[in-house]
Amino acid sequence: MNNPAHWTNFAVALAGVVFVALSVNLERILQVPGLPGRAGETLIVLIGAVVQCALLLIPGLNHVALGVSLLVVGVLEWAIVTAVSVTGARQPTAEPRSWNLARVIYVQIATIPVAVAGLLLLINASGALYWLAGAVLWSVVAGSGNAWVLIVEIVRDARYRPRDQEERS
């Protein structure tokens, strides 16, 4: 179960994820408090998923080496996205507070299981890579949700107006 070779098809499928082109609304994203952080979260979570899958593809990597790698990547990604999402959630925005709280929770769900998978691999526990699979799949879901906001909702929803437009309204 913890043999990385058995997980390569899963990794290859997800490594092909196409990253959302944030440049479409980059000017607006930079003008709305909290959205640059959300863009950063999105990239970190999606790139993290690809890196985690890439680790599975390294030939000859045993469960201990993979466990250490996932633990390091998981903790590092968790620390970065937590700092970014908590800082972003504290920005004054017109978004409901519950949306900001949900963002913080979503990135926790995307990152903490990676470290859990790493720890479980280190002790060769059964099902360790299922934790990674869940984290990677959730990363795609959370990243896609954020991408939707950054591409569609910031144009459609008045709560994502730049500050100078809010003041004039």
State the pTM of this model. Answer: 0.79
Q: What is the pLDDT of residue 16?
A: 40
72 CB-near residues (< 8 Å, 6+ apart): 118
More confident call, 12 vs 114 = 114
CA distance to 8, 13, 52, per residue, from 80 (Å): 27, 26, 16
Q: What is the pLDDT of residue 29?
A: 82
Report d(CA 84, CA 35) in Å as an integer.
Answer: 11
More confident call, 139 vs 4 = 139
Please state, for a pLDDT cut of 90, what percent of the chain lies above it. Answer: 33
Residue 44 has pLDDT above 60, yes or no: yes
Report d(CA 146, CA 131) in Å as an integer.
Answer: 22
